[in-house]
Amino acid sequence: MVEEISHYCGSQVFLSFLERKKLWLTSLSQSNDSLEGAWVIKHWLSRFTPRTESERDLRKGYSVLLDEVKRSYVALGTCFSEEPDLLSQWRGYAENGAGFSLTFDLKKITGTSNHFGCKPSHITCANCLR
């Protein structure tokens, strides 16, 4: 298990962090990663394998319900990487390599998020693409 996690960002987010010592939660639907937010539904539904016609209908109903929830509510989050120097993260989240990578102690981030009633989730690209 890693001890540190990194948050890739552009110069404005970095400056805001320095000034306020806070990371902001962002609407996952506004992310520059088209899979963010959408993977939640796919991941959750993948855990439910229908065995009967009734279960297949139930799964379809869950899918429709989750799509409606996604349209009606805003999911907020901030993302981290276990890799402090990963080219795809620099390109996608840090102004094409001109931004910053903020590195945090994983135990402290987890402790802080638990204090506020949030539970960090470990998500890998493999989970997102299934």
pTM over 0.85: no
Residue 17 lies in a domain: yes
Residue 107 lies in a domain: yes
**Of the candidate ranges 9-18, 49-58, 74-83, the one whose mean pLDDT is the lowest:** 74-83
Residue 60 lies in a domain: no
Q: Work out how many domains the chain is built from and give that number.
A: 1
Residue 101 lies in a domain: yes
Full residue range of the structural domain in which residue 30 is found? 4-37+75-129
Residue 64 lies in a domain: no
Residue 67 lies in a domain: no
The model's pLDDT over 41-66, given as tens digits with 9 standing for 90+, comes to 677 777 778 889 998 888 888 888 87
Residue 111 lies in a domain: yes
pLDDT value of position 110: 80
Q: What is the DSSP string of 47-95?
A: T----SHHHHHHHHHHHHHHHHHHHHS--EE---BS-SS-HHHHHHHTG
